[in-house]
A = this chain, B = another copy of it.
Amino acid sequence: MTANICVSCDNKSCPVFNQGKEAKEIISKNTVRIGFKKDEMLFKQGAFSTHLYYINSGYTKIYKEFPSKNLILKIANPEMILGTASLFGTKTHLYSASFIGKGEVCQIDRNIFAQLLLKNPENSLELLLNQLYKSESEVFSRFASLTQKQLHGRLADAILYLSMEVFKSDRFEFPFTRRDLAELTSMSNESAIKIFKEFQNDGIVSLENNVLHILSLDLLKRISEIG
Q: Which residues of A contact B (CB under 8 A)?
A: 64, 66, 69, 71, 73, 84-89, 91, 94-95, 114, 117-118, 121-122, 124-126, 128-130, 132-133, 136-137, 139-140, 143-144, 146-148, 186
Contacts and interface: CB of A to CB of B under 8 A. Distances in A.
A64 B140 contact: yes
Contacts of A147: 71, 146-147, 186
Given A125-B121, A132-B132, A186-B147, A140 B88 contact: no
Q: Say what secondary structure dominates the interface of chain A.
A: helix
Count copies of this chain in the complex.
2
A157 to B, nearest CB: 13
Contacts of A143: 64, 71, 73, 139, 143, 146
B133 A86 contact: yes
A217 B114 CA distance: 40
Given A86-B133, A124-B125, 6 more contacts: A64-B140, A66-B148, A71-B143, A87-B126, A121-B122, A148-B186
